[in-house]
Structure 1
Amino acid sequence: MSWQAQIEHEREQKDRYFGEDPRSPLAEDERASFDGLEYYPVDPEYRFERPLNRYDEPEPVVVGTSTDGEQEYLAWGEFEFTVDGETVTLQAYKSDPDEDRLWVPFRDATSGEETYGAGRYLDLEPEHHRTDDGTWILDFNEAYNPTCAYSDRYECPLPPMDNWLDVPIEAGEKAYDDGH
């Protein structure tokens, strides 16, 4: 299966989960009328293979949450890439130094307009997002909204200001249209 087909398949699975599963972040009455999330079309221009510029000594970062709380992460490294001719940098975080997965939260020029205002996330799992030569795949077609975009019952970490981009990332999940 091509990477594009895989993304489309994952989107279909997520829509099914949101619309049918009792553990969905959507309230039961919303699930009944749910007809799918909105996404940008899959676009190879928003898929990057980049090395992680890992920090020698990862620093703890306190991140605010959607419920005025705080969570702590480690700033593990950064990715540099080019969007629409502009070079940008995003920090990658870990909640536990022993885990291999990276978390890349971000806001961009679409936040609050076409996409969720608080920002979106990328989860980078080594088995799916790291190539044989050790570079990482940042595929913004996989960018998704945190659960707090669907319900106030959830507490979500907010992207630190270091990950606020001035460029639009017109890929991945769009804003949910129920008023959140």
Structure 2
Amino acid sequence: MSDDAAFDSERWRAELEEKRAEKEEFFADHPQSPVPPEDRDGFEGLEFFEPDPQYRVRATVSLADDPAADPVYMETTTGGEVRYLRTVTLAFDLERDDPDLADGTFELSGYEQEGSAAGTLFVPFRDKTTGQQTYEGGRYMELSADDDLTGGDEIVLDFNLAYTPFCAFSEAFECPLPPAENWLEVAIPAGEQFE
């Protein structure tokens, strides 16, 4: 979790740009890149929305009473299915400078896969940019809490870190598709683009 009073936008921007450059280098050169080897010479880099601190929001955490009692089965890009546990709901406000973009309070669910590292939340989502400026299968965020979360806690949700799943670059990967409860009826022009 982060303290907004100590938020340094210049440092945040520099760290974000550094992460983006590292990721592009990984995609271009690393043997485990999702870009197929035959396509790497033509890889021109990833596309991103401009860093925007309006899309770094604080979300209020609500914990699920018994995640195992109501598992979520996410369809995958290859027609399969993956079982996740909905462990939290994250409620957040968007207040933006652009009058053409809707503001309001929204919710996303955070999931854990059984057997995954505790404290890491998987947040797949779709929004009004999906299939237009971003990948048609949705985007992902992964959140880590410094401490065990309790109801009413706040956690930083930074959509500037939203990324395109590997299956967008190669059919060799199978990716979960965001469930309907994580379809936002609003545009989130932040993070990775994909056209």
The one of 69, 88, 93 equivalent to 1:77 is 88
Whole-Å separation in 2 of the counterparts to 1:44 and 1:37 = 20
Give me the CA root mean square deviation: 1.9
1:7 equivalenced with 2:13 (yes/no): no
Structure 1 counterpart of 2:156: 137
Determine what percentage of the aligned residue pairs are the same residue: 40
Larger radius of gyration: 2
Cα distance in 2 between the residues matched to 1:67 and 1:120: 16
Deviations 1:90-141 (A, max 9, x none): 111111376110010000000000000110000002249x8xx952111000
Are 1:64 and 2:75 matched, yes or no?
yes
2:98 is equivalent to residue 89 of structure 1: no
1:104 aligns with 123
Q: Aligned pair count?
A: 173
**What's the offset of the Cα at 1:32?**
0.8
SS in 2 for 1:51: strand
Shift in CA distance, 173/81, structure 1 to aligned 2, threshold 3 Å: same
What does residue 38 of structure 2 align with?
Answer: 29
3-state SS of the aligned residue for 2:13?
A: helix
Gapped regions of structure 1 (runs ≥ 5): none
Normalising by structure 2, we get a TM-score of 0.83
The structure 1 segments of at least 4 consecutive aligned residues displaced by more than 6 Å after TM superposition are: none
The question of 1:171 aligning with 2:190 is answered yes
CA apart distance, 1:29: 2.4
C-alpha distance 127-10 of structure 1, shift in aligned 2 (>3 A)? farther
| Aligned-partner residue type, residue 183 of structure 2 | W
Structure 2 unaligned runs (5+)? 1-9, 95-101
**Could you tell me whether the CA contact under 8 Å between 2:60 and 2:92 is conserved in 1?**
no
Which one-letter code corresponds to 2:83 in the other structure?
A: E
State the one-letter code of the partner of 1:72: R
Match among 145, 151, 158 for residue 126 of structure 1: 145
TM-score by length of 1: 0.90
Matched to 2:62, the amino acid is: N
